[in-house]
Chain A
Amino acid sequence: MTFLQPWAWIGLVAVAGPIVAHLLARRSARRLPFPTVRFLPAAIQTPVSRDRLTDITLLVVRCLVLVTAAAALALPVWLTADQRRTLGESVARAIVVDNGVANAADPQAARLSAESTVARVAHADEPARLLGEASTWLAQQPMRREIVLVSDFPAQALSKADLDRIPAGIGIKLVPVSTSGRSHAAMEVRDGPVLLTGAADRANALAAREAAVAQGAVSTGRKDRPIALVFPGHEGRDTLLKSAHDIDQPWMFTVVRAVTQDHIVMAAAREIGKPAADIVAPLAAPINGESHLLLVMSVQPASLVSAAVMRTAARAVAPEPAADVIATHSAEQLKAWERPAASIAPDGSRAPEESRGRWLWLAALVLMVIERVMARRPRTAAHTEVSDVARVA
């Protein structure tokens, strides 16, 4: 038996009412003028102690009235074995998809939806905001219920508190998807350093830049601070160097200092046995009419130090390089937050009209009638002596 409104059992506290009333009621004897007391026995006196319950049957009936009413308010539902099995196998899912990873999440959502008896898929920029709505919808589904979140779970987008607000009995499933598809503008290197290489090294240079991007630290470059990396194989290298001059812009010094003092660059330089200053020579020269900082590289693009220089140079001109780091919840954390759906919906899973409460109300009504009859019983004492008196008369 399941109760749709189990809180109604709190009403059982009311059972204490009649018991206390029975105990505390002062039984002040009613005075009855009588023709003579000579026939009344003197010994049969009523104990006046308060803890003696008179008329236990009436008390029991009154308590039963309250218990039955509380049970009726709790809206009990009796399920047959078949119903229980059917409900146990069925599952309703509210699937919330993070818009940020919609491309990767939608196939997952579609698969989970297909596996559900009933499902509803919703998209949101902030999935946590949809949890309440999803819980409300699930509360009306007469089967096992589960909320599914499909996201890359950025740390700031979901917390334990958000999940704690989901009512007990509703399962939680967290499906992480890869963040590689996330279209964070900061992750794109649209305006990174210009790579000036020979035709043969072009692919290597791009690979080095991808490697820098993969470190998650390359940001959008600034158009007013253009940087060009000049590798040894570049065909116009000499011409360019001839037109170059020493750096003269403050930001150029900042970039050069950052590059030469970057610990990754320095470590990479040590790997090849050269100081960073020998690997990168800073100059300034116009390219397409715009003054660029030339980082004249003495190493090939397909090297670790090249990638490190690219990364550091890009970071040095990035407006907010730190903001590009995206922290996510770990898989272990997500597993810990998950919970299974209850086997049978504990509350609200059935419409009230399906409850057997009305029969309990009927029972309560019958008990009330019995109670009324019993309460009016006092003067119906047996007239057993009437026949004797009639005989006497």
Chain B
Amino acid sequence: MSDSALLSSSAVAAIDDLELAARLVVEGVRSGAHRSPFHGFTAEFSQHRPYRPGDDLKYLDWKVLARTDRLYSRQFSETTNLSVMLVLDASASMSFPAETGAPSKFRYSAVVTAALAYLIIDQGDAAGLMTMAGERFVYLPAKGGRQHLRALLAMLSRLEPSGEWPIDRALTRGAELLKRRGAVIAISDFYDATETTARDLRRIARRGHDVALLQVLSRDEITFPYTGDLEFEDLENGARRHLDAKAAAHAYRARVASFLEDFRKQVHRDGHDYALMPTDIPPSRALRSYLLRRAAAASATARPGDAS
């Protein structure tokens, strides 16, 4: 699929209806994907109940009708083979950039999160949402179904970035809340990642969870296109730094590049999934690229097992 056919990040972010935005992103993802990275669902028989007018006839148990001459509908309990906990960074740093027309990192992350949830639930898997900003803790358990998806999207829509993000606590808590083996997908700028975070992530992985880190950054954070006298104010802790931006640009870019490189190496060394998503890249393209890479990696690891 060509890039021109994808909605730009600004256009997607401008859509108020998060479900619609997510669907548009997912359509973009699907049209480019060859194979779903998530497995399909199975439905397990649960019980019979008396037929009520309006019940779908396909759920009518014809065998029981033939044996007993009574109308019973079959009920199934939907089962999933994957539970995904989406851990979204809702700290104040994600509200950048606030002034320009480009989408903020949080809005971009929300659209990506919604698209992932849409994709996962649409395939019959379970998706949950968890976010933590300061002492505020928002949690929605991983479940499947349209109703749950709508609840998840509604919760996402209500979120506003603020405060700081204790990433280690958030990830640990998110993993704990998954009742069985699943995946933890964290969407953040990961500015707060530390050695402790890396250790926690390794522990989560050892418990059998699949860990993916989607790092969302604004392009301006990377390229630092500022000049003149500027007073930079830290969105999370309020610290200020008065600089000649032009003179500081080189050092800043070098430090950011070093940070990103170190973080990427650390994540790959620990065996986690990682993707950098600058906000000027359409969410569909960023997500499709990530999912294709994930699917390719999954098939590559599955092949030796199949052979044995």
Interface residues of A (CB under 8 A from B): 27-42, 44-46, 48, 377-386, 388-389, 392-393
Query: Is B41 interfacial (CB-CB < 8 Å)?
Result: no
Q: B242 contacts which chain A residues (CB < 8 A)?
A: 29, 45-46
Q: B292 contacts which chain A residues (CB < 8 A)?
A: none
Measured between alpha carbons, how far is A39 from B244 in the docked complex, in Å? 14
In the A-B complex, list the 7 residue pairs whose CB atoms are closest, starting with the nearest: A35-B93, A46-B244, A393-B276, A385-B253, A29-B229, A39-B255, A381-B225
Interface residues of B (CB under 8 A from A): 93-96, 98, 105, 189, 191, 218, 221-236, 239-249, 251-257, 259-261, 264, 275-276, 278
Instruction: Indicate which residue in A29, A33, A42, A384 contacts B235 across the interface (CB closer than 8 Å).
Output: A33
Q: Are A378 and B228 in contact (CB under 8 A)?
A: yes
Q: Are A37 and B234 in contact (CB under 8 A)?
A: yes
Q: Are B241 and A37 in contact (CB under 8 A)?
A: yes
Shortest Cβ distance from B184 into chain A, in angstroms? 22
Q: Are B225 and A380 in contact (CB under 8 A)?
A: yes
Most chain A CB atoms below 10 A, which of B242, B251, B260: B242
> A383 and B248 in contact (CB under 8 A), knowing A35-B191, A39-B259, A40-B241?
no
Q: B246 contacts which chain A residues (CB < 8 A)?
A: 381
Measured between alpha carbons, how far is A382 from B221 in the docked complex, in Å? 13
> In chain A, what residue has the closest Cβ to B226?
A381
Q: Are A29 and B260 in contact (CB under 8 A)?
A: no
Q: Are A32 and B226 in contact (CB under 8 A)?
A: yes
Instruction: Indicate which residue in B95, B218, B245, B257 contacts A392 across the interface (CB closer than 8 Å).
Output: B257
> A45 and B233 in contact (CB under 8 A), knowing A378-B227, A389-B257?
no
A interface, over-half SS: loop
> A30 and B228 in contact (CB under 8 A), knowing A40-B241, A385-B222, A393-B276?
yes
> In chain B, what residue has the closest Cβ to A377?
B227
Instruction: Indicate which residue in B224, B249, B278 contacts A393 across the interface (CB closer than 8 Å).
Output: B278
Most chain B CB atoms below 10 A, which of A41, A378, A386: A41
> In chain B, what residue has the closest Cβ to A378?
B227
Q: B234 contacts which chain A residues (CB < 8 A)?
A: 34-37
> A381 and B229 in contact (CB under 8 A), knowing A45-B243, A393-B278?
no
Shortest Cβ distance from B241 into chain A, in angstroms? 5
Instruction: Indicate which residue in B94, B96, B278 contacts A34 across the interface (CB closer than 8 Å).
Output: B96
Shortest Cβ distance from A33 into chain B, in angstroms? 5
Q: Are A33 and B98 in contact (CB under 8 A)?
A: yes
Q: A44 contacts which chain B residues (CB < 8 A)?
A: 243-244, 247-248, 251
Measured between alpha carbons, how far is A377 from B278 in the docked complex, in Å? 24
Q: Are A33 and B278 in contact (CB under 8 A)?
A: no
Given A392-B264, A393-B278, 18 further pairs, Cβ under 8 A: A27-B229, A29-B229, A30-B228, A31-B240, A35-B93, A35-B94, A35-B96, A35-B234, A36-B234, A38-B191, A40-B232, A40-B248, A379-B225, A379-B227, A381-B245, A386-B222, A388-B253, A393-B275
Measured between alpha carbons, how far is A377 from B228 in the docked complex, in Å? 11
Measured between alpha carbons, how far is A41 from B224 in the docked complex, in Å? 13
